[in-house]
Amino acid sequence: MSNIPETGRSSRVTIRLVALQIIVFSLLLTLGGRLWYLQVRNGEEYEREAAGNHVQQVVQPATRGAILDARGVPLADNETRLVVSASRTELMRMKDRGEAVLTRLADVLDLSYREVAEKVRLCDAQTPQPCWNGSPYQPIPITDEATTQQALQIRERAEDFPGITAEPTAVRRYPAPYKAGTSQVLGYLSPVTDEEVEQARDTDSPLLRSDQVGRFGLERTYDRQLRGKAGVTRYEVDKLGRVIGEAEGDRAMAGASVVTSIDSRVQAIAEKQLDKAMKQARNEVDKITGRPYEADSGAVVVMETRTGRVVAMASNPDYDPNAWVGGISGKEYARLTGKDSNFPLLNRAIQGQAPPGSIFKIVSSAGAVNAGYPFDGRYNCGASYSLGNQTYRNFESTGHGPISLGRALEVSCNTVFYALGHQEWRKDGGINPKKKPNEYLYKAAKGFGLGSPTGIDLPSEVSGRIPDREWKQKYWELNKNAWCKQSNSDADDYVTRLAKENCVEGMNLRAGDSIIYAIGQGDTLVTPIQMATAYASIGNGGKLVTPTVGKAVISPDGRHIEEIKPRSHGRAPAAKRTIAQIDEALLGVTTRGTAAWRFGNWPHDDIPIRAKTGTAQVQGKQTTSWLATYTDDYTIVMTISQAGTGSGASGPAVRNIYDALYGVLPDGTIDRKKALLPEPQRELPRIGENGDVKAERTKKSIVAEWRDAEFE
Amino acid sequence: MSIHSFDTARFERPKSLWARLRARDSLARRLDWPLLLSALALCVIGSLLVWSATRNRTELTGGDPHLFLVKHVMNALIGIALAAVVLWVGHRRLRSAWWLLYVLALILVALVYTPIGATINGERAWLNLGGGFFLQPSEFAKVTVPLAMAVVLAAKVDAGDREHPDHRTVLLALVLAAIPIAVIADLGQVMVLAVIVLGVLLASGASNRWVFGLITAAVAGGVAVWMLDLLDEYQINRFAAFANPALDPSGVGYNTNQARIAIGSGGLTGKGLFQGTQTTGQFVPEQQTDFIFTVAGEELGFLGGALIIVLLGVVMWRACRIAMEATDLYSTIIAAGVVAWFAFQSFENIGMALGIMPVAGLPLPFVSYGGTSMFAAWIAVGLLQSIRIQRPLSA
């Protein structure tokens, strides 16, 4: 009390004043502590939140790089279109939320107000398409097909169209040179999904919500290179979204161009000839079913034999990739992907699977030689091969007596291969296999790369299937429940009987399986590109080339060229000698064998051409036509589903493609001047001084002549 | 030095202005300078923060970025003048004129319900004086309520009749406090007044039963108001958002969330005056008034924010000392009432910006923009100084 002056105050009051003081300072300390916690301990977190609060990005899309053919002709590039877009933030600031402006705009563009308004509304869970999926700060495109007239009206009456811009913008275009659509190989673009943006967030090529990404084909494979880097202007905005300053941004960097090994001229010919072959087949009546051939789908691959570079790749049915530009309509999408569409988006050269039929016999031959059967030995080519009460027929049930494997390939003798398949199955222990069966014929197939993707630089390649013992077991485990259920049914049709059999012994590789396997029938599935790789390996001395479409990536300024080197993924499972022997036999096919009638006056001395025909049976369908051919330069494999024999349905088209490549005239003479590509294109296209790739074009009429060549 | 300096009479000349100021009994020496300087410093900081918060709010300033700065400084000057008047009159003289102020404040508070009353931010707590001038009369009640209670409670004790105020006196004082509180509909101001009443009761020496009784009554009253749905929806929402800030980040929880982001992003040293992106972007509502602390937090950082808290601490420390050293209960009660007022209002204002208190529209004394609250705060300073200069010189 000594310090405190005489106040006459009671001790109760003093104590309470001290208590009040303590409370007051505790409160202040609390504030200080909380302040420390927010600002110093958690400051960084709030700093990030504040940054996210006030910075908004506006994207300047990068111009997507072009996809060029081997001679620099663009297969995919950009065209300048007049794009009318609306700034949502500006519209929303108006009293009527932009209604008046959009009404005027709709009038100019010959659209209804609703159509325009729907385009600028933001997508959310309740809003159906059409709606804007991107950032609300991004100008929203209303049309990319404005006429110059419309654009001028909008620009001249700028005061009537606040927030509306009409500017030339680069839009993807697939020009189809020489009518080479190249659709499935090129693929298409579509707007990025939220998920993809999320996934790419922390990678070195983040996606913006306005981005288009390659969905399929080359657009997908080389998406990263083609896309470039979008520029971003970052604006500082206030709470109401009003711009109050500009923050650091990034400039847009155009995407690189991709030069492919596709030759648009050959591509055009391949597409047209495939289509012709299919149409032709539909005019013919299938003797087995008595109906005209369906010829519902087909594919052709033209590949460089030594390098695996793809010169042409066509798949039928196809579509116009321009349909995707500027957003695809629901109707169009259904037409391309719906149940009744026959799936034109599929690239059947790498995604179509079918039993190979007789073109598989080179695999069986190589496997047989590996198993110890001499190539030049004598094998009985009977009219049929019997197993128990089952008879496996030769084609048209003709026999040739004892012949070599080479001759068996030439005349495509089934019975020789039946016997080989059966013997090998028995040697491996038959229905109760040895611990480590040799499975020479199956291993040969895998050795040729069948049953696994070739690794071509196109997405979604399928692997096909080699039905060895291991596969049988797995397949049975997967399906036994369904089979056994079906076998309980009272019906006595083919399906039920098969199910019954499969239910009990489907896990076993039966003798019959191995017999028909040897001629490429049964459960075996291959893709055209796999067979092209296999045949190319015979043509190039045993190298299993990896097919490639991309040849080089050229930076937008033309200074950096990143070549994509041809690759190989191993060697064919055959000795050099065997390969040479098979090669010789395949030459016999075109000179005196099953395809000879298609290559009647071919200049074999100048350009030896080898081939193998195949006619594969598919349960419940007409036969699949296969024709696998190669020269020293090119390998061409064509297949048409439900179209009859290999040489019959595919022969003329393949012949016409070769004619165009080498300039072979109908009389069998070679016109070097008319030849489109007598040897594979080695050099990359020339690059001009300002970095543009020079296109080397051929007269359209010359290409058209080859493209539209009739079948003999 | 001139020849004239030999004149001895000249040595007494220092009895001039400076000497008079330095004299032991001079007003200047008796004033509580830490209190005065802290309040002034808070006003200066407040001017800068108000300026920063409003300089590009054209919809408020009408294009003059300095409008609020000038008005804030003017308010502070008027406030200081009012404090000087209070000091000149002296708190002792108010002891006999208390009822005049009390009734005047009551009339003003009641005028809110007449046509000149105005509603701002959901609170009908303003008088529209025309010409863009608004008065918040409940601010004056914060002065008159403790004054009136002090007069009543201290009468018998200061006269030496009793050691502590008797029950009847306490009851009378509470009735005096309850009348204006009942008229005021502004939740924030009512809470401040309730805390002031509590502080006054504590300092008066009223028996513990009264103190705890009042606390119980306050709690019960709060529950009753809640249960009887007497609160407006926006008031309920504020509490709901406090309990769960993630409730609705774009709506009710928006204010508190943005306030926290603003303060948190300031870090240790802040982004610099006028450099705050949350402030420039106007992400925090009511930033020049209720959420003024967020400007300090964002632009001046922890150091600036802590400085404001320290300065407020100095004001309250001095107010506490003045309460302790006061020579009579009347003065003690007034000082304690001011302590309770400043303490609660500062804690509530900064606390809501920091997210540890529910949102209630209360200004930060001396710092927030707002004329009436500035005047009231300076009148309180005038009262404290008046008490201070009348304490015995021996101290």
Q: Which of A28, A44, A54 sits opposite B313 (nearest CB)?
A: A28
Closest residue of chain A to B267, computed from CA coordinates? A39
The CA distance from A85 to the nearest CA of chain B, in Å, is 27
**CA–CA dist A72, A324 (Å, integer):** 24
Closest C-alpha to B318, from B339, B304, B333, B334: B339
Amino acid at the residue B202: L
Whether residue A19 is contained in a domain is answered as: no
- DSSP for A58-85, written as a single string: EEEPPPPPPEE-TTS-EEEEEEEEEEEE
Q: Say yes or no: A488 and A538 in one domain.
A: no
Mean pLDDT of chain A: 87
Residues of B in contact with A244 (CB under 8 A): 56, 280-281
CATH code of the domain containing A685: 3.40.710.10
Residues of B in contact with A9 (CB under 8 A): 329, 332
CA-to-CA dists, residue B7 to A6, B1, B10, B13, B20, angstroms? 45, 12, 6, 11, 22
Q: Say yes or no: A390 and A493 in one domain.
A: yes
Whether residue B182 is contained in a domain is answered as: yes
Q: Say yes or no: A318 and A429 in one domain.
A: no
Alpha-carbon B242 to chain mean position: 23
Q: Which of B205, B347, B392 sits opposite A27 (nearest CB)?
A: B347
Side-chain half-sphere of A276: how many Cα atoms within 13 Å? 21
Side-chain half-sphere of A561: how many Cα atoms within 13 Å? 16
Residue A152 has pLDDT above 90, yes or no: no
Q: Say yes or no: A675 and A576 in one domain.
A: yes
Q: Do A40 and B267 touch (CB under 8 A)?
A: yes
Digit-coded pLDDT (tens) for B24-80: 777 888 899 999 999 999 999 999 999 999 887 877 777 788 999 999 999 999 999
Digit-coded pLDDT (tens) for A84-126: 888 887 887 777 888 888 888 988 888 888 888 888 887 777 7
Closest C-alpha to B380, from B341, B343, B350, B346: B341
Residue B8 has pLDDT above 70, yes or no: no
Whether residue B43 is contained in a domain is answered as: yes
Side-chain half-sphere of A64: how many Cα atoms within 13 Å? 30
Q: Say yes or no: A98 and A215 in one domain.
A: yes
Residues of B in contact with A47 (CB under 8 A): 264-265, 267
Contact between B148 and B177 (Cβ < 8 Å): yes
Percentage of residues in chain A with pLDDT exceeding 90? 48
Whether residue A25 is contained in a domain is answered as: no
Alpha-carbon B156 to chain mean position: 29
Q: Considering A487, A517, A547, which residue would you say is the last residue of a domain? A: A517
Please list, in sequence order, all residues whose beta carbon lies within 8 angstroms of the beta carbon of residue B67, skipping any fewer than 6 positions away.
B54, B60, B61
Digit-coded pLDDT (tens) for B207-263: 999 999 999 988 898 888 777 766 776 667 766 666 665 555 445 567 778 888 888
Residue A331 has pLDDT above 60, yes or no: yes
Residue B274 touches chain A, beta carbons under 8 Å: no
pLDDT band for B277, please (50, 70, 90 cuts).
confident
**CA–CA dist B32, B37 (Å, integer):** 9
State the maximum Cα–Cα separation within chain A, in Å, rounded to a whole number. 139
Digit-coded pLDDT (tens) for B327-364: 899 999 999 999 999 999 999 999 989 988 888 889 99
| Contacts with A, B 351-390, CB within 8 Å | 351, 354-356
Q: Can you tell me the mean pLDDT for A397-419?
A: 90
> What is the token pair recorded at B246?
């993630």
Residue B5 has pLDDT above 60, yes or no: no
Q: Say yes or no: A130 and A73 in one domain.
A: yes
Contact between A208 and A59 (Cβ < 8 Å): yes
**CA–CA dist B315, A178 (Å, integer):** 89
Whether residue A712 is contained in a domain is answered as: no
The pLDDT assigned to A133 comes to 67
The pLDDT assigned to A135 comes to 67
Structural domain count, chain A: 3
**CA–CA dist B9, B11 (Å, integer):** 5
Q: Say yes or no: A536 and A484 in one domain.
A: no
Q: Do B205 and A12 touch (CB under 8 A)?
A: yes
Percentage of residues in chain A with pLDDT exceeding 70? 93
Q: Do B261 and A13 touch (CB under 8 A)?
A: no
Residues of A in contact with B301 (CB under 8 A): 39
CA-to-CA dists, residue A510 to A311, A383, A482, A516, angstroms? 41, 22, 20, 10
**CA–CA dist A631, A304 (Å, integer):** 9
Q: Can you tell me the mean pLDDT for B385-391?
A: 87
Mean pLDDT of chain B: 86
Residue B202 touches chain A, beta carbons under 8 Å: yes
| Contacts with B, A 8-37, CB within 8 Å | 8-10, 12-14, 16-17, 19-21, 23-25, 27-28, 30-32, 34-36
> What is the token pair recorded at B78?
């008027």
Q: Is A338 exposed, middle or buried (0-12, 13-18, 19+ CB in 10 A)?
A: exposed
Closest C-alpha to B304, from B355, B275, B267, B262: B267
Contact between A262 and A71 (Cβ < 8 Å): no
Q: Say yes or no: A244 and A96 in one domain.
A: yes
Angle at B185 between CA B182 and CA B187, to 5 degrees: 105
Closest C-alpha to B169, from B150, B184, B183, B186: B150
Q: Say yes or no: A327 and A252 in one domain.
A: no
pTM beyond 0.90: the answer is no
| Contacts with A, B 83-142, CB within 8 Å | none
Q: Do B313 and A25 touch (CB under 8 A)?
A: yes
Provide the 3-class DSSP secondary structure of residue A309.
strand
Provide the 3-class DSSP secondary structure of residue A258.
strand
Mutate to test the interface with A, among B265, B302, B312, B350 (most CBs of A within 10 A): B265
Residues of B in contact with A52 (CB under 8 A): none
Whether residue B18 is contained in a domain is answered as: no
Q: Can you tell me the mean pLDDT for A196-206?
A: 72
Digit-coded pLDDT (tens) for A295-320: 999 999 999 999 999 999 999 999 98
Q: Say yes or no: A122 and A185 in one domain.
A: yes
Residues of B in contact with A6 (CB under 8 A): 327, 392
- DSSP for residue B159: T
- DSSP for residue A13: H
The pLDDT assigned to A209 comes to 64
Whether residue B158 is contained in a domain is answered as: yes
Helices (H), A557-606: 576-591
Residue A56 has pLDDT above 80, yes or no: no
**CA–CA dist A5, B388 (Å, integer):** 13
Whether residue B394 is contained in a domain is answered as: no
Percentage of residues in chain B with pLDDT exceeding 90? 49
Please list, in sequence order, all residues whose beta carbon lies within 8 angstroms of the beta carbon of residue A515, skipping any fewer than 6 positions away.
A385, A387, A392, A418, A421, A422, A425
Residues of B in contact with A51 (CB under 8 A): 265, 277
Rg of chain A in Å (alpha carbons): 34
Q: Say yes or no: A361 and A466 in one domain.
A: yes
The CA distance from B343 to the nearest CA of chain A, in Å, is 6
Q: Do A34 and B351 touch (CB under 8 A)?
A: yes
Closest residue of chain B to A15, computed from CA coordinates? B203
Contact between A315 and A184 (Cβ < 8 Å): yes
**CA–CA dist A155, A423 (Å, integer):** 82
Q: Which domain holds residue B359?
A: 31-389
Whether residue A50 is contained in a domain is answered as: no
Q: Do B312 and A28 touch (CB under 8 A)?
A: yes
Whether residue B11 is contained in a domain is answered as: no
Closest C-alpha to A180, from A265, A86, A276: A265
Q: Considering A227, A260, A293, which residue would you say is the last residue of a domain? A: A260
Closest C-alpha to A385, from A494, A508, A512, A288: A512
Residue B25 touches chain A, beta carbons under 8 Å: no
CA-to-CA dists, residue B388 to A556, A610, B21, B384, angstroms? 81, 116, 17, 6
Residues of A in contact with B354 (CB under 8 A): 31, 34-35, 38
The pLDDT assigned to B124 comes to 77
Whether residue A648 is contained in a domain is answered as: yes
Digit-coded pLDDT (tens) for A428-454: 988 888 888 889 999 999 999 999 999
Q: Do A13 and B332 touch (CB under 8 A)?
A: yes
Closest residue of chain B to A53, computed from CA coordinates? B278
Q: Considering A464, A492, A517, which residue would you say is the last residue of a domain? A: A517
Amino acid at the residue A711: F
The pLDDT assigned to A1 comes to 38
Beta strand B117-120 with B123-130 is antiparallel
> What is the token pair recorded at A134?
């991107």
Q: Say yes or no: A307 and A366 in one domain.
A: no
Digit-coded pLDDT (tens) for A6-34: 555 778 899 999 999 999 999 999 999 99
Amino acid at the residue A638: M
Q: Is A358 exposed, middle or buried (0-12, 13-18, 19+ CB in 10 A)?
A: buried
Q: Which domain holds residue A426?
A: 357-517
Please list, in sequence order, all residues whose beta carbon lies within 8 angstroms of the beta carbon of residue A608, skipping any fewer than 6 positions away.
A587, A631, A632
The CA distance from A205 to the nearest CA of chain B, in Å, is 29
**Phi, psi angles (nearest 5°) of residue A524:** -65, 135
Amino acid at the residue A331: K
Structural domain count, chain B: 1
CATH code of the domain containing A426: 3.40.710
Whether residue B320 is contained in a domain is answered as: yes
CB atoms within 10 A of CB A195: 8
Whether residue A21 is contained in a domain is answered as: no
Which H or E run contains B134?
Answer: strand B133-135
Whether residue B5 is contained in a domain is answered as: no
